[in-house]
């Protein structure tokens, strides 16, 4: 069976400060259900383990959410998983075919500083496995390196939450860096679509998406990459 390791943020505050944050729920639930419905085994883990903080701005009243979020709100099993994740470093990555990093502003505060996450990304990449991230999830790529020591994203086509989107949501001063700008500074070939419209791309075994609306396309490109490898 194909297996995907999904690693989420554990950051529940934008620091310095007290602004609540976490994972953007649609960016977890949309790929999770897409993978599970395709017969893929998904293991959910997080930076620190325990309950995954969910950005409450990503959850509306019943009936007013993305379809995957609505499904999640009625899914006791997945809610239990989200409430009690393993620390990702406690999981042996050897048996997994892909790594998926959901976004949410929380990722900007704990993904880049995790040397262990950077090593995990590097390991998947060097073994020819799929590495994927959506929205702010590519913050988990910025500290990783290629085998020659150059930045992981250097020379690669990559998408992520754009600077203009960050300014539009009014959080460009709250985050430690602007993700698009950082990806470009590291030599990434950043591409994007209109603000908040679906946009995702695949560069070999690297799959990235721009924003919450891109989660469906990002998951589809991950499945495409896995199917091509299996063939």
- Could you tell me the residue range of the domain that residue 8 belongs to? 3-230
Mean pLDDT estimate for the chain: 97
CA dihedral 202, 208, 212, 214 (to 10 degrees): -10
Mean pLDDT of all residues in 127-132:
98
pLDDT band at residue 24 under the 50/70/90 scheme: very high
Specify the 3-state DSSP secondary structure of 5.
Answer: strand
Does residue 17 carry a pLDDT above 90? no
With 90 as the cut, is the pLDDT of residue 44 above it?
Answer: yes
Structure confidence at residue 231 (pLDDT):
86
* 3-class DSSP assignment, residue 97: coil
Residues contacting 188, CB < 8 A, separation 6+: 151, 153, 154, 155, 156, 157, 158
Q: Which spans in 3-75 are helix H?
A: 25-37, 67-73
Residues 115/143, Cβ–Cβ less than 8 Å: yes
**How many structural domains comprise the chain?**
1
pTM flag (> 0.85): yes
CA distance 119 to 122: 5
**Residues near 81 by beta carbon (within 8 Å), at least 6 away in sequence:** 44
Kind of pairing between the strands at 98-101 and 86-87: unpaired
Looking at residue 11, its pLDDT comes to 98
Taking the C-alpha atoms of residue 16 and residue 19, their distance in angstroms, rounded to an integer, is 9
Q: What is the CATH number of the domain that holds 155?
A: 3.40.50.880
Per-residue pLDDT of 176-197, as tens digits, reads 999 999 999 999 999 999 999 9
Indicate whether 109 pLDDT > 90: yes
Please say whether the dihedral angle defined by the alpha carbons of residues 52, 122, 129 and 152, taken in this order, is positive or negative. positive
Percent of the chain with pLDDT over 70: 100
> For the chain, what is the radius of gyration of the CA atoms?
16
Helix (H) or strand (E) holding 118: helix 115-126
Q: What is the mean pLDDT of residues 44-59?
A: 98
């Amino acid at each position: 069976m194909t297996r995907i390791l999904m690693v989420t943020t554990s950051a529940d505050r934008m620091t310095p400060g007290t602004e609540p944050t976490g994972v953007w729920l649609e960016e977890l639930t949309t790929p999770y259900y897409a993978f599970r419905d395709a017969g893929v085994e998904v293991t959910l883990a997080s930076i620190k383990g325990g309950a995954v903080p969910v950005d409450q701005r990503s959850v509306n009243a019943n009936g007013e959410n993305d379809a995957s979020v609505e499904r999640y709100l009625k899914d006791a099993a997945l809610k239990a998983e989200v409430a009690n994740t393993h620390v990702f470093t406690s999981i042996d990555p050897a048996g997994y075919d892909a790594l998926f990093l959901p976004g949410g502003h929380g990722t900007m505060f704990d993904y880049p500083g995790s040397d262990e996450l950077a090593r995990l990304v590097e390991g998947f990449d060097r073994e020819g496995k799929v590495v994927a991230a959506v929205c702010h999830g590519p913050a988990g790529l910025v500290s990783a390196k290629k085998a020659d020591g150059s930045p992981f994203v250097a020379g690669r086509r990559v998408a992520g939450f754009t600077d203009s989107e960050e300014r539009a949501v009014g959080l460009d001063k709250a985050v430690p860096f602007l993700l698009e700008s950082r990806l470009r500074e590291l030599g990434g070939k950043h591409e994007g679509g209109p603000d908040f419209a679906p946009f995702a791309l695949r560069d070999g075994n690297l799959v990235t998406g721009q924003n919450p609306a891109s989660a469906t396309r990002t998951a589809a490109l991950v499945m495409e990459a896995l199917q091509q490898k299996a063939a």
